[in-house]
């Protein structure tokens, strides 16, 4: 299937601010105060998220944990910065079983700067994500890209590509 066919089949819509295509598939009816800021959020949310070749998930920060699950298509290259216990930042490959060095699940800790793009020659990558507490657009924040390039000069090209 092409990216356009997957987008249509799964009824995905453009994801504002971040880029790519998504559909929320679950939002808990139960709520809780978010530990990072106290605002009321659902206990959890899940989405399907697709990036087509040439698109990216722009670098952003969320105050809650986000877990990614590879669903299909090409592998996804992820850049994780300001992650606890990873002072140098890291590049992660989320992909199918058998793809070299690919993980099938990636946990992005709360507050980590993250961004991603389709790896290699693949036309699209489909992932699912789960957040707890749940996602709210008010929580999405774009980091200072100039400061990131200065702090993580070894990742400068990828930071610019995902900025």
Look at residue 162 and tell me if it is in a domain. Answer: no
Domain interval for residue 144: 3-156
* Mean pLDDT of the residues in the chain: 96
Look at residue 114 and tell me if it is in a domain. Answer: yes
Look at residue 80 and tell me if it is in a domain. Answer: yes
What is the CATH classification number for the domain harbouring 147?
Answer: 2.60.120.10
Tell me the C-alpha to C-alpha distance, in Å, between residue 103 and each of 67, 76, 97: 12, 10, 8
Q: Model pTM?
A: 0.95
Look at residue 103 and tell me if it is in a domain. Answer: yes
Look at residue 161 and tell me if it is in a domain. Answer: no
CA count, 13 A, side-chain hemisphere, 15: 24
Averaged pLDDT, 21-47:
96
Provide the pLDDT for residue 145: 96
Look at residue 126 and tell me if it is in a domain. Answer: yes
Both tokens of 162, joined, read: 């995902």
Provide the pLDDT for residue 128: 98
Domain total of the chain: 1
Look at residue 163 and tell me if it is in a domain. Answer: no
pLDDT digits (tens, 9 = 90+) for 42-101: 999 999 999 999 999 999 999 999 999 999 999 999 999 998 888 999 999 999 999 999
Look at residue 64 and tell me if it is in a domain. Answer: yes
Q: Using pLDDT thresholds of 50, 70 and 90, give the confidence band for residue 135.
A: very high
């Amino acid at each position: 299937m092409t990216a356009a066919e997957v987008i249509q089949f799964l009824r995905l819509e453009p994801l504002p601010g971040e880029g790519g295509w998504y559909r929320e598939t679950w939002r808990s009816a139960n709520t809780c105060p978010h530990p990072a800021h106290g605002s009321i959020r659902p206990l959890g949310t899940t989405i399907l998220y697709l990036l087509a070749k040439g698109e990216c998930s722009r670098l952003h920060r969320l105050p809650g944990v986000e877990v990614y699950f590879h669903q299909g298509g090409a592998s996804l290259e992820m850049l994780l910065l300001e992650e606890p216990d990873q002072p140098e930042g890291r590049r992660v490959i989320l992909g199918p079983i058998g793809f070299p060095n690919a993980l099938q699940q990636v946990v992005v800790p709360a507050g980590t700067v993250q961004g991603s793009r389709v790896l290699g020659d693949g036309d699209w990558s489909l992932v699912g994500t789960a957040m707890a507490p749940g996602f709210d657009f008010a929580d999405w924040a774009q980091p200072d890209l100039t400061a990131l390039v200065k702090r993580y000069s070894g990742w400068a090209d990828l930071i610019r590509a995902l900025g």
